[in-house]
Structure 1
Amino acid sequence: MKSHRYQLVLTTCPDAAAAERIAHALVSERLAACVNILPIAKSIYLWKGKVESAAEQLLVIKSMARAYRAIQKRILELHPYELPEVIAVPVADGYPGYLAWIRDPDKT
């Protein structure tokens, strides 16, 4: 496997509607093979000089690394936050069959 060919992209959303809107767009536009929505994430963060907290939904986006810029662009277009989290984590290794599916989900 070529190093860092695959990635997980993480973003958080304020509610189920935003999370599903982004997930459906990324998968239907073939930018991601799969998006997991984890419905309960308690975030505590600094924002404009104050400690804030929020209940959020975490999206775990599985895709090819080459799709990062397009994924980032779509998230920024669809996301309700002023400054959304968009972080890519390279996948160092994985089950070859699953990685093949990420590479070409239409072949399954």
Structure 2
Amino acid sequence: MSERVPAVVVLTTTDSETAAKELAAGAVEARLGACAQVLGPITSVFRWEGAVQTEPEWRVEIKTAADRVEPLTAHLRERHSYDVPEIVATPLTGGSAEYLSWVVDETR
């Protein structure tokens, strides 16, 4: 894996399994992510418009190269149904060198 292009996990959540699968597939098809997993349903508790909400959601975890986070974030925002979608990126600080190299290669 290139020392200059580390891998990152980008997370988002959405309100249905179908929407989650579409976000995951769209990111991989656009080469903005090497792979994505859909997990759920999960229960999310959050404050929205002044009230605490409890809702089922599906989480999408997308593995990508650090230099693809900005275009992936823009891609997710354009396709997301939420007014303020959760989009967070967490750098990967270790793992299988072969896998992390594959993540970077698949986003080229």
Instruction: Give me the TM-score of the superposition, normalised by structure 2.
Output: 0.92
Q: How much has 1:104 moved relative to structure 2?
A: 1.3
CA-based RMSD: 1.6
Matched residues in 2 for 1:50 and 1:4: separation? 41
Residue identity (%):
32
Q: How much has 1:42 moved relative to structure 2?
A: 0.3
Who is 1:82 aligned against? 83
Q: Which runs of 4+ in 1 moved over 2 A?
A: 1-4
Amino acid of the structure 1 residue aligned with 2:42: A
Who is 2:105 aligned against? 104
Contact kept in structure 1, 2:5 and 2:67, CA below 8 Å: no
Instruction: Give me the TM-score of the superposition, normalised by structure 1.
Output: 0.92
Matched residues in 2 for 1:90 and 1:4: separation? 11
Who is 1:16 aligned against? 17
| Gap regions ≥5 residues in structure 1 | none
Matched residues in 2 for 1:49 and 1:3: separation? 42
